[in-house]
Amino acid sequence: MLKIATLFSGGGGFDAGAIAAGYTPVFAIDNCPRAAAAYRVNFGSHIVVGDICGQDFSGIIADHLHASPVCKNFSAAKTGAAESDFDLACAAAVCRAIEQIKPRTFSLENVGRYKNSDSFLMILTLLKSLGYNPAFRILNSADYGVPQTRKRLILLGKLGDRPRFPDSTHHKPTTQQGLFPEGEWISWHDAIADLIPTLKQTDLAPWQRLRVERQEAYSVGRGCISFGTSANAAVSKICLIEKVGARCDRPLREILKESPVPTLKALGQDGHWEQWVINYGVKILQANTGCLARWQSFPNWYQFPIARDKACSIIGNSVPPLLAQRILEAIND
């Protein structure tokens, strides 16, 4: 039985993928009690609620160790942010966990800018000094069957051998190559098609309606098309329209039916998460927690908190479980 320990575990997105890959979670730690409560419901009482910087990892036995350090100071959305003492302390804690647990394999997930940090260099240097053969890449979740174009830095380490990254299972339309072609990216619509009849009807906000009528929206997807010649033409197609996160300095985003959803992310310091409404023929539907969970590839058995803000926080902060599964399946080959 393969065992896994996770750091900065949140609600357990990586752990859900690990279970699908044949692992049993034996240790987890997160400093957010709400996320830990959701983790406990889904995976068990082995999660520790506390500060990773003061945690002792001796005595933990695990074949794989995964870490997803806090990324807000490295996010492209936080212009001018600098690496903090807390970031370095978290990296030192990850290093201590690697030294004390001594897993056969290791993985780390973060935003792309993290690879330019002293924190990343610290972890990379330690892995090499302990006999791991580290490698890192930027992976797009959509290439592995997640209906979301979420790009993240993935660092892998394996004792005595170079780790293998997962082969892509899906591809962006028009980039198909090879004798045995893989499937195209899974669209946001295909991921939630069975949920659409259950979604509540809503309406466009006045500012959204105004932009539609002025034909100021643009499309993100396989091709760029306008809303048409009227507001009625706009609401006759199937697409996503952004509800939270829109900015006055750019047009309103529209995500075509055939495309994955963009990265689900936090917006600002008020805790709001990017949300979408669905243009569905003549109806406007609200994308609920179930939709967000599908777009992040959470399994249907995962139990989210009833409160939407708590559920959305868990979803947006998680590694897509399907991506985690693919990583763990590949690293053992």
H helices of 203-298, where?
Answer: 206-213, 231-234, 289-295
pLDDT at 39: 98
Residues 131-144 have a mean pLDDT of 97
Q: Would 188 be classed as within a structural domain?
A: no
Q: Would 20 be classed as within a structural domain?
A: yes
Confidence of residue 22 (pLDDT cuts 50, 70, 90): very high
pTM of full prediction above 0.85? yes
Q: Are 170 and 183 in contact (CB under 8 A)?
A: yes
155 shares its domain with 6: yes
272 pLDDT more than 80: no
Tell me how many domains the chain contains: 2
Taking the C-alpha atoms of residue 248 and residue 164, their distance in angstroms, rounded to an integer, is: 44
For residues 97 and 245, which has the higher predicted lDDT (pLDDT)? 97
132 pLDDT more than 60: yes
82 shares its domain with 219: no
Confidence of residue 209 (pLDDT cuts 50, 70, 90): confident
214 shares its domain with 281: yes
88 shares its domain with 124: yes
117 shares its domain with 86: yes
152 shares its domain with 208: no
CATH number assigned to the domain comprising residue 82? 3.40.50.150
Containing structural domain, residue 33: 2-174+318-331
Confidence of residue 235 (pLDDT cuts 50, 70, 90): very low
Q: Are 210 and 248 in contact (CB under 8 A)?
A: no
